[in-house]
Amino acid sequence: MSYQPPIKDILFNLTALSQWPVVSGLPEYSEIDLSDATTALETLGRFCTSTLQPLGADGDATGAQLKDGVVVMPDGYHDAYEAFVDMGWQSLAHSPDHGGMGLPRAVGAAATEILNASDMSFGLCPLLTDGAIEALDITGSDAQKARYLPKLITGEWSGTMNLTEPQAGSDLGRVRTKAVPQDGGSFRLSGTKIFITYGDHEMSQNIIHLVLARTPGAPDGPKGLSLFVVPKFLVDDDGGLGARNNVNCISIEHKLGVRASPTAVLEYDGATGFLVGQENRGLDHMFVMMTAARFAVGVQGVGLADRAYQQALAQAQERVQSRPVDGSSTDAVPIIQHPDVHRMLMHMRALVEGGRALVAATAGWLDLARRGPEDIRGKADEMSEFLVPLVKGYCTEQAVNVASLAVQVHGGMGFIEETGIARLYRDARILPIYEGTTAIQANDLLGRKVLRNGGDVARRFAEMIAETEDELRRAGDTATAVADRLQAARAEFDASLAFLLDAAPDDPNTAYAGSVPFLMLTGALAVGWQLARALLAADAARAQGVDPDFMTRKIATAAFYAHHILPDCAGQRARITAGADSLLSAAL
């Protein structure tokens, strides 16, 4: 079946959850209105369904290949990328100062969702380019911005992130790539980087690598890393392409999923690079790109989950099997009429729409943190930093669950490659791994976002949820029932937070044994909160006669999530507060 971009739901979230009145009123967005966002997303959706979606099956079957030192993409990808660039899609949410369209981040996130739902292998290339743009825009010099950003923003050039090495996966303190200073201010980089998404290909005219490396005499560990920009082709002062740099793809990985995305091993052999920002501050600078990429990978999870849900829904509406258990028909009926199939589909829908709601809300906070008034920028930054690991960790784990349920709804045919659902399941499995595993997101949430400030931001998060509960209790019986479930889940969060704050100083192993359950509890609560806000907005709109069928559907989704998914928070609290001893004492 054909993927249908969920434009109506995206626009609902944009206006109801992303703080659109505040964000759209910022000076940077003063000339943007909702009709601009609508037109852009609808046009992008048509491009994705007509041009990108058909690439997926053949791209998966063929995969990217390395032939005679050249990465060869599957048929159709080069032409699709050229069309993508010609239509200006890479520029959607980037600054007009360097040629971007300048739309808010929530619109950019929606575009990322649509792109990756259409074909995640293709979507990974612009995703990494977006991250490189953000890193250079925030940490690069004026000269570097002028040299690289215009072509990256058009998509004529693509970008990569080079962190991982054979001996240094998530432990970046073990990075060994060397950067030796040269006369004139450049550096020569030597070393090997692995797992580099779109590390080499022929679709773009140039590839701008952002590379972590160590200068002579730098401190050991992560504090001795610096960030360098290393173009595949050196760039002349007039912006033209010069000599080929000494960075080469020596192999590409053979993967479980996203097979059309070339995951490269890159060899730097005295390649010319240029320092970005301050020496020995590379990890801080790279974290700008990592944060952008982590948020975008969470958005990928929402997009892939929606694609899987749409296909499972179509299958359930068409597949006729067995008589209904209530005896309402003596003939076999479409399986959507069977209670457990209905349960699986509603579970999928709630996770998809809930993830999309959390993304929209987080995007609003990110925009306010970067561009908001000075008096709210600090608190917006804290809240966005708190929410990003939830978007990445929770939404990607749930994407795997949704894809698995989609296989289940298909029954035996879900295990057969021709249906395409098996491919989505395989593609989904990378999401909780790359750009920082779920455990890394959980450690980041607990260590940097909770313990570092004594739980202040986490308590503010809970206070905002309590305010939403009060609003729900004034909005009718369904909303009050959702408020009760939200309050119960918040109580589990509060108890878990208190336990972790107490345990961490003297017994960090006990605290971090509960870090992933805490992320999953907090993620489930955050999604429930945003769906509750969506319920309030939908209830108000329905009362005014606005699209009542759609608004009723939104209310039903929030109610289902509250009653069927929020109760899982109790189990997560038990793992956090009572599970450490059995976990840590067990011999392996």
Enzyme catalytic residues: 435
Helix (H) or strand (E) holding 355: helix 339-371
Q: What distance, in Å, lies between the first and last C-alpha atoms of the chain? A: 45
Helices and strands per DSSP (H, E), number in the chain: 20, 11
**Residue 6 CB-half CA count within 13 A:** 25
Among 263, 165, 158, 142, CA closest to 214: 165
Eight-state DSSP code of residue 227: E
- 418's CB contacts (< 8 A; 6+ apart) are none
**Residue 357 CB-half CA count within 13 A:** 27
Alpha helices (H) along 411-476: 421-428, 438-446, 456-472
- Rounded to an integer, what distance in angstroms lies between the CA atom of residue 307 and that of residue 423? 11
DSSP-derived secondary structure for 143-161? HHHHHHHHHHHHTSEEEEE
- Rounded to an integer, what distance in angstroms lies between the CA atom of residue 414 and that of residue 408? 7
In the block, which residue shows the tokens 């590390």? 199
- Rounded to an integer, what distance in angstroms lies between the CA atom of residue 14 and that of residue 11? 5
* Cβ atoms within 10 Å, residue 457: 18
- Rounded to an integer, what distance in angstroms lies between the CA atom of residue 557 and that of residue 7? 17
Among 489, 397, 517, 501, CA closest to 449: 501
Alpha helices (H) along 140-224: 142-154
Output the six-digit token pair for 252.
């590409």
E strands of 124-262, at which residues? 157-162, 178-181, 187-197, 206-214, 225-231, 233-235, 241-244, 247-252
Per DSSP, what are the bridge partners of residue 190?
178, 269
